[in-house]
Amino acid sequence: MPKHILIFDSGIGGLSVYKDIKYQLPLAKYIYAFDNAAFPYGELTESVLIERTTHIISKLCSKFPIDIVVIACNTASTVVLPSLRDKLDIPVVGVVPAIKPAALVSNKIGLLATPATVKRSYTYDLIKSFAPISDVQLLGSTRLVEMAEEKMIGIDVDITELKEILSPWQNKVDTIVLGCTHFPFLKNEIKKALGNKILLIDSGEAIARRVKQLLNENGNGDGVESAVLFEGEVFCSAPSIKEEALNHTFKELNFSSLQCLGYPKF
Ligand code: DGL
Q: How many Å lie between the centroid of ligand 1 and the Cα of residue 117? A: 9
Q: Is residue 266 part of a domain?
A: no
Same domain, 67 and 8: yes
Gap between the Cα atoms of 253 and 115, Å rounded: 29
CATH number at residue 10: 3.40.50.1860
202, 219, 234 — which closes off a domain? 202
Q: How many Å lie between the centroid of ligand 1 and the Cα of residue 226? A: 34
181, 202, 223 — which closes off a domain? 202
Whole-model pTM: value is 0.95
Catalytic residue flag (residue 180)? yes
Gap between the Cα atoms of 96 and 79, Å rounded: 11
**What's the average model confidence in pLDDT over 198-223?**
86
**What's the average model confidence in pLDDT over 164-186?**
97
Q: How many Å lie between the centroid of ligand 1 and the Cα of residue 122? A: 15
Task: Write out the DSSP string of 18-47.
Answer: HHHHHHH-TTSEEEEEE-GGG--GGGS-HH
Same domain, 106 and 150: yes
Q: How confident is the model at residue 220 (pLDDT cuts 50, 70, 90)?
A: low
Taking Cα atoms as reference points, which of 234, 211, 165 lies closest to residue 24? Answer: 211
Q: Is 113 helix (H, G, I), strand (E, B) or coil?
A: strand
Residue 32: pLDDT above 70?
A: yes
Q: Are 60 and 31 in contact (CB under 8 A)?
A: yes
Same domain, 198 and 209: no
Gap between the Cα atoms of 16 and 32, Å rounded: 12
Does 123 sit in the ligand 1 pocket, CB within 6 Å? Answer: no
Domain of 193, in residue numbers: 99-202
Same domain, 151 and 176: yes
- What is the best residue among 34, 56, 75 to mutate for testing ligand 1's pocket, by most ligand atoms within 8 Å of CB? 75
Same domain, 196 and 235: no
Note the pLDDT of residue 110.
Answer: 98
Same domain, 18 and 103: no
Q: Is residue 148 part of a domain?
A: yes
Note the pLDDT of residue 228.
Answer: 76
Note the pLDDT of residue 226.
Answer: 59
Same domain, 103 and 180: yes
**What's the average model confidence in pLDDT over 100-126?**
96
Interhelix angle 74-87/46-63, rounded to 10 degrees, is 60
Same domain, 183 and 209: no
3-state SS of the chain: helix, strand, coil percent to 5? 50, 20, 35
Q: Whose CA is nearest to atom 2 of ligand 1?
A: 73
Q: How confident is the model at residue 216 (pLDDT cuts 50, 70, 90)?
A: confident
Q: Tell me the per-residue pLDDT of 34-58, one tens digit each, with 9 for 90 and over.
A: 999 999 999 999 999 999 999 999 9
Q: Is residue 8 part of a domain?
A: yes
Q: Tell me the per-residue pLDDT of 59-75, one tens digit each, with 9 for 90 and over.
A: 999 999 999 999 999 99
Q: Are 229 and 29 in contact (CB under 8 A)?
A: no
Gap between the Cα atoms of 205 and 156, Å rounded: 26
Mean pLDDT of the chain: 94
Same domain, 41 and 111: no
Same domain, 126 and 255: no
Taking Cα atoms as reference points, which of 69, 117, 73, 74 lies closest to residue 93? Answer: 69
Q: Are 239 and 215 in contact (CB under 8 A)?
A: no
Gap between the Cα atoms of 203 and 20, Å rounded: 9
Same domain, 182 and 233: no
Catalytic residue flag (residue 236)? no
Residues in the chain: 266
Note the pLDDT of residue 264.
Answer: 86
Gap between the Cα atoms of 132 and 1, Å rounded: 46
Does 179 sit in the ligand 1 pocket, CB within 6 Å? Answer: no
Q: Is residue 265 part of a domain?
A: no
Gap between the Cα atoms of 160 and 166, Å rounded: 10
Q: Are 259 and 235 in contact (CB under 8 A)?
A: yes
**What's the average model confidence in pLDDT over 194-221?**
90
Note the pLDDT of residue 225.
Answer: 53
Q: Are 38 and 52 in contact (CB under 8 A)?
A: yes
178, 202, 226 — which closes off a domain? 202
Note the pLDDT of residue 229.
Answer: 84
How many domains in the chain?
A: 2
Q: Are 102 and 201 in contact (CB under 8 A)?
A: yes
Residue 87: pLDDT above 60?
A: yes
